[in-house]
């Protein structure tokens, strides 16, 4: 397989952008990424977005993006994999370049959740986490499924340290210009926040925001000619039964394990060589399950390791170095591309006050629903 | 969910009927084309037992818009007497009855009024089982 490189990234601040349309947020991110990479055209556009139908009454985002970005003529496809839609677009863009078909592609993801009321967003999330006629019919939404997993987890291992994951993400987001919630919160504040679905607390789940992020992927030839910093990228994905309770062990996300194993094999990298991870901390319990299922923490230990500081900026394995889904923000179709952009910034030594010491390899994990699909991408400094 | 989709899934939603793979035993709460575990195409229709025990529960306080009228409501993960695990709304529970291992039984209840036409949709919920002597 031919090499694929990230040559530039761009993103908007995550916020409630009342005055801007979804496609305009995506154009801002796309323009920034193209300028960052130093390219003026691309062979194809891949768009990630999850909920433009229910929230913007809009489909055909590929052609719409091509027009708004001034790239009419380029083939443009929209990819959907629920909350991991940005990762799905990245996967498609990667395959396009790796196959030799395209020299450069624009991968852009966006989501504008503030166009909906919070119960409409919950309703959209329910479409993403289960079947409409089963979990959806029963009102077992994303938070309810997470809460049930959390209970099973606490029964088996105890909940120690799980509520600490939001504390880590917020600590890393402090002062980050693009983060939606750029401030610290204490563990007590998390523990005192009301239940959204017991035992899951309000401050253990990501918020609702708008944002867009973009990545330029190029082949080896073009990578050599461009002057921007490059990172070699690999991506893998796997699926699991949609309902976590149909799986042999609901507390082991097999999709995460498979995706991680495949991407490590592709890149020829071992777990111990990974310097940082962007986790899918849509909820605190999912952050822990990602680490444990991916083989980065023994089962039942992730919360305890979090409390010991292992996932902090100075820890053994820094996670969510710009705040993760919880504090940077989680605009679904854009989220995975923020993750990739943030790993890229770390590798390019452009991470500002959050810069890690000479990182070489970073991993991102992006989930749809409660791990129905998992995408793992790995970036390596060139 | 639209009316035809609701109608198609009535066997499960009304009476916990589903299909068991003849080869590997996997239960499907929809009519499968191929088995989700072993890809076999042979199934036997079965009815799940209507009783079991509660193994995890939660209360939804920030509901999706379809459930705004009934919130807060409880959701349970139930292990039926044959070992099958299903998700259900819980009803007729007092707060102190919501506990691990509580015996539960299925009842037929109104789930929600859906869509602009106000279609009333019914299905199963689970309630506490009466104490056995």
Cβ density class A216-249: b for 16+ within 10 Å, e for less: bbbbeebbeebebbbbbbbbbbbebbbbbbbbee
Q: How many residues does chain A have?
A: 382
DSSP letters of A290-316?
Answer: HHHHTTSS-TT-HHHHHHTTTTSTTSS
pLDDT digits (tens, 9 = 90+) for A213-245: 999 999 999 999 999 999 999 999 999 999 999
pLDDT at B133: 43
Assigned domain for A167 exists: no
SS3 content of chain B, % helix, strand, coil (to 5): 15, 45, 45
Strand residues in chain A grouped as ranges (E):
4-11, 44-48, 76-79, 104-112, 195-197, 200-201, 210-219, 231-239, 276-278, 361-368, 373-381
Assigned domain for A332 exists: yes
Q: Is the pLDDT of residue A128 over 70?
A: yes
> What is the number of other CB atoms lying within 10 angstroms of the CB of residue B8?
14
Assigned domain for A127 exists: no
User: Among A136, A197, A198, whose Cβ lies nearest the Cβ of B1?
Assistant: A136
Helix extents (H) in A99-219: 118-129, 135-138, 142-157, 165-173, 187-192
Q: Is the pLDDT of residue A1 over 80?
A: no
Assigned domain for A371 exists: yes
pLDDT at B132: 60
Residues of chain B contacting A194 with CB distance shorter than 8 Å: 61
Assigned domain for A314 exists: yes
| Token code pair at residue B79 | 């292990």
Does B37 sit behind a cis peptide bond, omega within 30 degrees of 0 on the bond before it?
no
Does B29 sit behind a cis peptide bond, omega within 30 degrees of 0 on the bond before it?
no
pLDDT at B101: 95
pLDDT digits (tens, 9 = 90+) for A320-343: 999 999 999 999 999 999 999 999
Per DSSP, A366 falls in state: E
Beta bridge partners of A277: A319, A363
DSSP letters of B58-110?
Answer: EEESS--GGGTTT-SEEEEEEEETTS-EEEEEE-S--GGG--TT-EEEEEEEE
Mean per-residue pLDDT, A156-181: 97
Q: Is the pLDDT of residue A200 over 80?
A: yes
Assigned domain for A56 exists: yes
Q: Which residue has the tokens 């044959």?
A: B82
pLDDT digits (tens, 9 = 90+) for A54-101: 999 999 999 999 999 999 999 999 999 999 999 999 999 999 999 999
| Range of lowest pLDDT (A26-30, A120-124, B87-91) | A120-124
φ, ψ of residue B15 to 5 degrees: the values are -140, 20
User: Among B5, B30, B89, whose Cβ lies nearest the Cβ of A138?
Assistant: B89
CATH of the domain at A112: 3.40.47.10
**Residue A21 belongs to domain spanning:** 4-117+206-381
Test mutation, A51, A54, A134, chain B, max B CBs within 10 A: A134
Residues of chain B contacting A132 with CB distance shorter than 8 Å: 1, 5
Q: Is the pLDDT of residue A382 over 60?
A: yes
Q: Which among B71, B92, B16 has a CA at the least distance from the CA of B49?
A: B16
3-class DSSP state of A333: helix
- Residues of A (214-253) whose Cβ lies below 8 Å from B: 241, 243, 245-246
Q: What percent of chain A has pLDDT over 90?
A: 99
Q: Is the pLDDT of residue A173 over 80?
A: yes
Assigned domain for A324 exists: yes
Assigned domain for A145 exists: no
| Token code pair at residue B89 | 């709304």
Number of domains forming the structure of chain A: 1
pLDDT digits (tens, 9 = 90+) for B99-131: 999 999 999 999 998 877 888 999 999 999 987
Query: CA gyration radius for chain B?
Result: 16
Average pLDDT score over chain A = 97
What residues in chain B have per-residue pLDDT under 50?
Answer: 133
């Amino acid at each position: 397989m031919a090499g694929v490189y990230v040559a530039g990234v761009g993103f908007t601040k995550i916020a409630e952008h009342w005055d801007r349309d979804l496609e305009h947020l995506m154009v801002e991110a796309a323009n920034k990424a193209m300028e960052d990479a130093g390219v003026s055209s691309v062979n194809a556009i891949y768009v990630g977005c999850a909920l433009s139908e229910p929230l913007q009454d809009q489909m055909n985002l590929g052609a719409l993006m091509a027009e708004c970005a001034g790239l009419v003529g380029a083939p443009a496809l929209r990819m959907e994999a629920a909350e991991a839609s940005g990762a799905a677009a990245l996967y498609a863009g990667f395959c396009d370049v790796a196959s030799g078909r395209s020299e450069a592609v624009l991968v852009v993801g966006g989501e504008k959740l503030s166009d909906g009321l919070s119960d409409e967003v919950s309703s959209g999330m329910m479409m993403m986490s289960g079947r409409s006629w089963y979990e959806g019919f029963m009102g077992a939404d994303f938070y309810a499924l997470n809460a049930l997993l959390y209970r099973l987890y606490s029964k088996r291992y105890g909940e120690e340290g799980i509520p600490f994951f939001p504390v880590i993400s917020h600590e890393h987001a402090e002062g980050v210009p693009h983060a939606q919630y750029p401030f610290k919160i204490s563990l007590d504040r998390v523990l005192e926040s009301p239940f959204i679905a017991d035992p899951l607390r309000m401050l253990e789940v990501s918020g609702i925001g708008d944002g867009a992020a973009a990545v330029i992927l190029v082949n080896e030839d073009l990578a050599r000619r461009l002057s921007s910093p490059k990172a070699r990228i690999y991506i893998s994905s796997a699926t699991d039964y949609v309902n976590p309770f149909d799986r042999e062990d609901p507390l082991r996300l097999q999709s995460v394990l498979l995706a991680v194993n495949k991407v490590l094999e592709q890149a020829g990298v071992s777990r111990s060589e990974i310097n940082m991870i962007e986790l899918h901390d849509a909820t605190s319990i999912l952050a822990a399950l990602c680490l444990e299922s991916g083989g980065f923490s023994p089962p039942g230990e992730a919360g305890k390791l979090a409390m010991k500081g292992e996932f902090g900026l100075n820890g053994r394995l820094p996670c969510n170095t710009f705040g993760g889904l919880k504090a940077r923000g989680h605009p679904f179709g854009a989220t995975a591309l923020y993750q990739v952009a943030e790993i890229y910034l770390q590798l390019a030594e452009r991470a500002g006050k959050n810069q890690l010491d000479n990182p070489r390899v970073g991993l991102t994990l992006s989930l749809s629903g409660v791990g129905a699909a998992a995408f793992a991408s790995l970036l390596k400094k060139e | 969910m639209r009316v035809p989709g609701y109608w198609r899934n009535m066997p499960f939603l009304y009476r916990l009927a589903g299909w068991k793979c003849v080869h590997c035993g996997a239960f499907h709460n929809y009519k499968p084309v191929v088995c989700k575990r072993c890809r076999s195409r042979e199934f036997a229709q079965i009815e799940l037992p209507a009783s079991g025990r509660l193994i995890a529960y939660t209360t939804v306080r920030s509901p999706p818009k379809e459930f705004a009228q009934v919130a807060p409501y409880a959701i349970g993960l139930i292990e039926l007497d044959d070992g099958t695990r299903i998700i259900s709304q819980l009803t007729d529970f007092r707060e102190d009855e919501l506990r691990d291992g509580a015996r539960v039984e299925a009842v037929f209840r109104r789930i929600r009024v859906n869509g602009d036409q106000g279609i009333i949709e019914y299905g199963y919920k689970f309630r506490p089982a009466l104490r056995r002597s």
